[in-house]
Amino acid sequence: MVFVRAILLSFISLAVASPLQNLVLHEKMNAIPDGFAHNGPAAASTTLNLRINLASNNMAGLEDALFAVSTPDSAQYGQHLTKEEVEAFVAPKPDTVAAVNSFLSANGLTAQTISPAGDWLSVSMPVSKANDLFGAQFSVFTNQANGQQAIRTMEYSIPASLVGHVELVHPTVTFPATFGAPKFTSPGVQAPSTATALVGDAVPASCATTVTPSCLQALYGIPTTRATQSSNKLGVSGFIDQFAQNADLQTFLRAQRPDLVNTTFALQTLDGGSNPQAAKDAGIEANLDIQYTIGVASGVPTTFISVGDDFQDGDLEGFLDIINFLLGEAAPPQVLTTSYGQNENTISRALANQLCNAYMQLGARGTSILFASGDGGVAGSQTTSCKTFLPTFPSGCPFMTSVGATTGIAPEVAASFSSGGFSNFFARPSYQNSVVSSFLTKLGSTNSGKFNVSGRGFPDVSAQGVNVEIVSGGETGTVDGTSCASPIFASVVSLLNDRLIAAGKSPLGFLNPFLYSAAGSAALTDVTSGTNPGCNTNGFSAGAGWDPVTGLGTPNFAKLLTAVGL
């Protein structure tokens, strides 16, 4: 393995050194990612469908605009940008377009624009041409876990004329991710628990062992009254052929929310996506996500967005495509929840940056973007061997809200699998500077050298994620995971948006500047015990204030209403 790698790298050095091409090294992987084997050069005639990301004319300006509309004490708070305003920041400059067009036409290539702002192009060419143009050595790599092959290169260059105009070429150095879905921990037919009548704020004792919508309503004070605003939308992302079943949803509602029976979801598809309804097609993740949005965000119009397998984003499983799809809409959902992710070290820094910039764009439009933080504790999205902690993507991106998991009711404690930590790609954003500094001071030298002290800390918030009851394929069972927590927190945000819209106010949009404000953090219940072990350590500990296990804490609906000014 080491020998193969050494040969591969020496070939690449020769290609890059070629004086004729005037190439500049752009991205490089130092080692083949764990779990992949190198199987020799890719056939010269194989067609590669490459994506090229062009430099935007003013991404820094968009970031300023995002914070201006998302920071509660700003004069522009709530004045989210239009599609055209966002595109004006993101579009490449004319000289960038000219440089890239001249490169393409000189090489007999035609590109298609695949994003609304024109910052992403798609272009096809044979491996031989891609090797020449980008000083690459495209090779076949096999994922040893599932046998799937991918054509990648350990490094690539770009012509000197494109430096400053091209952010990245993909897929090149980013290897296909392994996406996780939660395990159905108690499969088998069992009687569904039924909704418990609640008295005041009492949380039923059964919630300590089985979490249902009633438990969440009691624990977080989430209202059961129906939302009233039809313009308010909650989007639920679906990937990897995980399908949401209406029949399972109705079985779930009959047991848990009889008042909501017959409520269903709208469907949007992209990349050839679908949502087949045969019992065998039931997806545990998709059912969980749809049952804990519709069953919690009472009456909020909910859309299942099913991303198919014809990705335009090059083995990113549609992760980029879904954002570009929503950016193309006149009225994207005000909340988007996603319970998929990957380890940050499986994605190139340049690609992570551009995906994060896509979240920035959608946030500026007024969408709250929530993701599950991952289920491997400090070891990342799945438990692997590790010497240093593995942050997850996109939780390290500062323009989204990462949701960790808790368990128990009196009090809630951190779920031991709740991923949290510090990004190696994204620096700590100012909104969390003070609470993260306090955490690091209290931490002292614990875990020193195992994480990046200057990185963006995550998760931001948390919600229940253990023994959550769902129905899938006609069977009732429970699931564990931060996959439970993200739709639950997203539902709370959607219900707040319903009240805000009804009061003639703007929806919350990008949440973090609000959540980390004094008013926002005071409206969350701090979770102060539990740890997220991994990598042969005890991980981090939850404690008073923000921590990289449960973030700022879990929602308190009444306090949040006050904090948003209602």
Minimum distance, C-beta of residue 455 to ligand NAG, in the bound complex (Å): 4
Binding segment toward ligand NAG, per CB under 6 A, in 120-128, 220-228, 450-458, 494-502: 450-458
Burial of 278 (0-12, 13-18, 19+ CB in 10 A): exposed
Instruction: Based on the residue annotation, tell me whether 445 is a catalytic residue of this protein.
Output: no
Give residue for tokens 């609640």. Answer: 198
CB of 449 to ligand NAG, least distance (A): 10
**363 known member of a binding site:** no
Nearer to ligand NAG by Cβ, of 128 and 246: the residue is 246
Contact 234/266 with Cβ under 8 angstroms?
Answer: no
Question: Which range in 145-153, 408-416, 449-457, 539-547 contacts ligand NAG by CB under 6 A?
Answer: 449-457
43, 454, 503, 544: which one binds ligand NAG (CB under 6 A)? 454
Distance separating alpha carbons of residues 455 and 459, to the nearest angstrom: 12
Tell me whether residue 30 or residue 45 sits nearer to ligand NAG (CB atom): 30
Contact stretch for ligand NAG (CB under 6 A) within 34-42, 136-144, 448-456, 541-549: 448-456
- Tokens linked to 166: 């091209």
- Pick between residue 42 and residue 253 the one whose CB is nearest to ligand NAG: 253
The two structure tokens encoding residue 79:
């004045």
Q: Are 550 and 541 in contact (CB under 8 A)?
A: no
List all residues 6 or more positions away from 137 whose beta carbon is below 8 Å from its beta carbon. Answer: 8, 11, 12, 15, 41, 131, 153, 154
Q: Is 547 annotated as a binding residue?
A: yes
Classify strands 335-338 and 266-270 as parallel, antiparallel or unpaired: unpaired
Residue among 423, 483, 486, 491 flagged as catalytic:
483
Which tokens belong to 268?
């949007």
With 0-12 / 13-18 / 19 or more C-beta atoms within 10 angstroms meaning exposed / middle / buried, residue 160 is exposed
* Number of residues lying near ligand NAG (CB under 6 A): 7
Q: Which range in 51-59, 188-196, 264-272, 447-455 contacts ligand NAG by CB under 6 A?
A: 447-455
**Nearer residue to ligand NAG within complex by CB, 30 or 262:** 262
Shortest Å, Cβ 357 to ligand NAG:
16
Q: Is 155 a catalytic site residue?
A: no
Q: What is the DSSP letter of 179?
A: P
What are the residues whose beta carbons fall under 8 Å from the beta carbon of 479, sequence distance 6 or more? 182, 183, 184, 185, 284, 288, 468, 470
Name the residue with tokens 């549609």. 318
From the list 130-138, 179-187, 294-302, 452-460, the region that binds ligand NAG by CB under 6 A is: 452-460
Phi and psi, residue 400, nearest 5°: -135, 170
Residue 347 · residue 466 · CB < 8 Å:
no
Is beta strand 47-54 parallel, antiparallel or unpaired with respect to 120-126? Answer: antiparallel
* Catalytically annotated residue among 119, 289, 344, 375: 289
Instruction: Convert residues 223-262 into a mask of x (bound to ligand NAG by CB under 6 A) and - (unbound).
Output: --------------------------------------xx
Roughly what angle, to the nearest 10 degrees, separates helices 482-502 and 284-294? Answer: 30
First to last CA, the chain: 61
545 is in an annotated binding site: yes
Shortest Å distance, C-beta 154 to ligand NAG: 19
Q: Toward ligand NAG, which CB reaches closer, 261 or 558?
A: 261
**Residues 415-434 interacting with ligand NAG (rule: CB under 6 A):** 424, 427
Residue 536 binds ligand NAG (CB under 6 A): no
The closest alpha carbon to 527, from 541, 513, 506, belongs to 541
Q: Consult the annotation and say whether 404 binds a ligand.
A: no
* Min dist. Cβ of residue 381 to ligand NAG (A): 18
Distance, CA of 116 to CA of 97 (rounded, Å): 15
In the residue annotation, 289 being an active-site residue is answered as yes
Positive or negative, the CA dihedral 327, 334, 283, 488 is positive
97: tokens are 């377009």
Considering 27, 248, 285, 480, which one is annotated as catalytic? 285
**With binding defined as CB under 6 A, does residue 192 bind ligand NAG?**
no
Nearest alpha-carbon partner for 398 in 365, 422, 419: 422
Provide, rounded to whole angstroms, the least separation between the CB of residue 436 and ligand NAG.
11
Interface residue with ligand NAG, options 33, 295, 455, 509 (CB under 6 A): 455
State in angstroms the smallest separation of the CB of 453 from ligand NAG. Answer: 8
**Residue 452 makes contact with ligand NAG by CB under 6 A:** yes
559 Cβ contact list (under 8 Å, min separation 6):
522, 523, 524
* Sequence ranges of the binding site: 526-527, 545, 547
* Sequence ranges of the binding site for Ca(2+): 526-527, 545, 547
Q: Which residues are catalytic?
A: 285, 289, 483
- Enumerate binding residues for ligand NAG (CB under 6 A): 261-262, 424, 427, 452, 454-455
